[in-house]
A and B are shown apart, each in its own frame.
Chain A
Amino acid sequence: MLSAISHRLASLASLWGHSSRARFCILFGAYVLALGWLFERWEMAFARFYLLPVSHVATASLNLLGLEARLEVGALAQGFCDIVLPSITLHIIHECTGIFTLFMFLAAVFAFPASLTARLAGAALGSAAFFAYSSVRLAFLGVVGHVAPDWVWVIHVWLMILINLGFALCLWLTWVSRVRRHG
Chain B
Amino acid sequence: MASREWALSTRVAARFALAVSLLFALWTQVAGAYTASLVSPSNWLLELRAAPVEIFWNGEACLVGLAADNGSRQVFQLQGDDLAYVNLVAALAILAAIPGLSLRRRAIWGLGVAAVLWATHVVTLYGGTCAAVSAYLSSAPGSEISLGGFALADGGDTLEELIGRWSAWGSPALILAVSVMAFPRGIWRGAHASGA
Contact = CB atoms under 8 A, between A and B. Distances in A.
Given A116-B196, A165-B94, A36 B9 contact: no
A180 B190 contact: yes
A83 interface: no
Contacts of A125: none
A119 B13 CA distance: 22
Interface string B156-191: 000000000100110011011101110000011111
Contacts of A180: 187, 189-191, 194
Interface residues of A, number: 46
A170 interface: yes
Interface in A147-169: 157-158, 161-169
Interface of A: 20-21, 24-25, 28-29, 32, 36, 95, 100-101, 103-104, 107-108, 112-116, 118-119, 157-158, 161-174, 176-183
A20 B191 contact: yes
A166 B2 contact: no
Contacts of A101: 172
A178 B13 contact: no
Contact of A162 (B6, B12, B20, B196): B20
11 contacts: A24-B180, A25-B181, A104-B172, A104-B173, A104-B176, A113-B196, A161-B90, A164-B172, A165-B176, A167-B13, A169-B12
A118 B89 CA distance: 32
A161 B87 contact: yes
Interface string B1-16: 1101110110011001
B104 interface: no
Given A20-B191, A166-B20, A29 B86 contact: no
Contacts of A36: 165, 169
B168 A20 contact: no
Nearest to A166: B16
B24 interface: yes
A20 B187 CA distance: 10
A113 B192 contact: yes
A113 B9 contact: no
Contacts of A21: 180-181, 188
Given A161-B86, A171-B9, A173-B12, 17 more contacts: A21-B181, A29-B177, A95-B168, A100-B169, A113-B191, A114-B191, A118-B194, A162-B86, A165-B91, A166-B16, A169-B12, A169-B179, A174-B5, A174-B8, A177-B4, A180-B190, A181-B4
Nearest to B1: A181
B93 interface: yes
Contacts of B115: none
A79 B63 CA distance: 31
A174 B187 CA distance: 11
B140 interface: no
Given A113-B191, A170-B13, A29 B176 contact: no
B48 interface: no
Contacts of B177: 25, 28-29
A53 B17 CA distance: 28
Contacts of B196: 113-116, 119
Interface in B1-53: 1-2, 4-6, 8-9, 12-13, 16-17, 20, 24
Q: Which of B17, B93, B188 has the most CB of A within 10 A?
A: B188
Given A166-B13, A166-B16, A178 B176 contact: no
